[in-house]
Amino acid sequence: MAGHGVEVLTERTKIPSDGKTATRLCLRFENLDESEVSLRLSRGGSFDPEAIVREQTFPVENSQVTLTVYAPRRPGSSYLQGEGFRHRIDFIPASFWQGLVYEWVPTLVYALAIALVLRTYAVASFIIPSGSMKDTLLEHDLLIANKLSYKLLGAEPQRGDVMIFKPPHEPKKDYIKRVIGLPGDLVEVSDGTVYINGEPLPEDYIKEPPLENMEPMVVPEGEYFMMGDNRNHSLDSRKWGTVKLNKFEGKALFIFWPPNRIHLLGAPSP
C-alpha cells in the first residue's frame, strides 16, 4: 500500500538500468471520481521509450491506472508520485561494471574524501617512536589524537596535556610531549623538581626525577614549555626551546594498540 488509498502493483521491484527494460505498474485507487490523473517520476526513468518523459496524465478505468516505466541508463532510485502518494522504484546496475562505475567508485571516493578531511582536521593516529614519554607512552604504542579542537576550533593546550606538535628545530617532524609551562610562566628545574612560578609542580606521571637542573626561564607569550615524562631520556624544551601555539597538531586522547594497553590518556594504565 503506497498510502492515501492507493495500492501499487508492479511486475518487478528492482529494474535493471539498461535504458530499455520496461516495467508495467497498476495503481488501484479507492473512491476515485476523476477520469484521469497526473503522475510524475523523480530522479530517473521515463514514461516514453524514445525520450525522457517524467510527467504525464493517464486515464482512469474502474479506479485503476495502468502505465509503463522505462529504465534509465544509470542505477539509482526514483519515485512515482501523484496526488496523495509516493512509490519508490529501484533501478539496479545492469552489469558488474555498471555497478562498479556508478556505485562502488563514488562510494570509495566519498569515503576517501571523508577520511582525508578527518585525518587533516579532526582525528589522527600516531605511533610512539621513542621512550621519551615512558611510562605514560611506550615505544610502538598507537594512539588517537584530537586535531579538530586545535586545528579548527582554536583550543589552547592546558598544563598536563599530552600534545603532538612540530618542534622549532625540526618543523616537519611530529613530536609528542607533555605541556609543562604556559605562556608567561616562570619555569625552573632544581634538585629533581620542576617549579612553576616558584611552586613545585605535582607530577605523578614521570618515570624518574630529572637529574639536571635548569635555570629559571619565562615562557614567551603564545608559546609553551614541553617536557617528556621520561625526564632523563627526553630531548624537549630544555634543549630546543618553547613551542608556538600554531605548531600544535592535536591532543593525545587514548591508546588503541596493543590491546593490553588500551586506555584513555589521563586514566590509569591497565
Over residues 150-194, the pLDDT tens digits come to: 766 778 999 999 999 999 999 999 999 999 999 999 999 999 999
Identify the bridge partners of residue 56 per DSSP, sorted by sequence position: 39
Q: How many residues does the chain have?
A: 270
Residues with catalytic function: 132, 177
What whole-number distance in Å separates Cα of residue 175 and Cα of residue 236? Answer: 9
Structural contact between residues 157 and 163, judged by C-beta atoms closer than 8 angstroms = yes
Model pLDDT for residues 106-162, shown as the tens digit of each residue: 778 777 776 666 666 556 777 888 889 999 999 999 888 888 777 667 789 999 999
Query: Of the candidates 150, 131, 153, which has an alpha carbon nearest to the alpha carbon of residue 141?
Result: 131
Type of residue found at 62: N
Q: For 12-54, how does the pLDDT look when each residue is reduced to its tens digit (9 = 90+)?
A: 888 999 999 999 999 998 877 788 999 999 888 999 999 999 9
d(CA 66, CA 10): 10
Amino acid letter, 109: V
Indicate yes or no: pTM above 0.85: no
Q: Give residue limits of the domains in the chain.
A: 6-92, 122-264
Helical ranges in the chain per DSSP H: 96-99, 105-117, 148-151, 237-240
Closest CA to 219 of 161, 253, 179, 262: 179
CA-to-CA distance for 134 and 200, rounded, in angstroms? 21
For domain 122-264, the CATH architecture is: Ribbon (2.10)
* Owner of C-alpha cell 588517537: 144
- For the chain, how far is it from start to end, CA to CA, in angstroms? 56
Q: Cα-flanking dihedrals φ and ψ of residue 85, to 5°?
A: -150, 160
| pLDDT tens by residue, 64-89 | 999 999 999 999 899 999 888 889 99
* 138-143 contacts, C-beta under 8 A, 24 or more apart: 138/261, 140/258, 141/255, 141/257, 141/258, 141/261, 142/255, 142/256, 142/257, 142/258, 143/252, 143/253, 143/254, 143/255, 143/256, 143/265
Provide the CATH number for the domain formed by 6-92 in this structure: 2.60.40.10
Question: Where is pLDDT greater, at 265 or 110?
Answer: 265
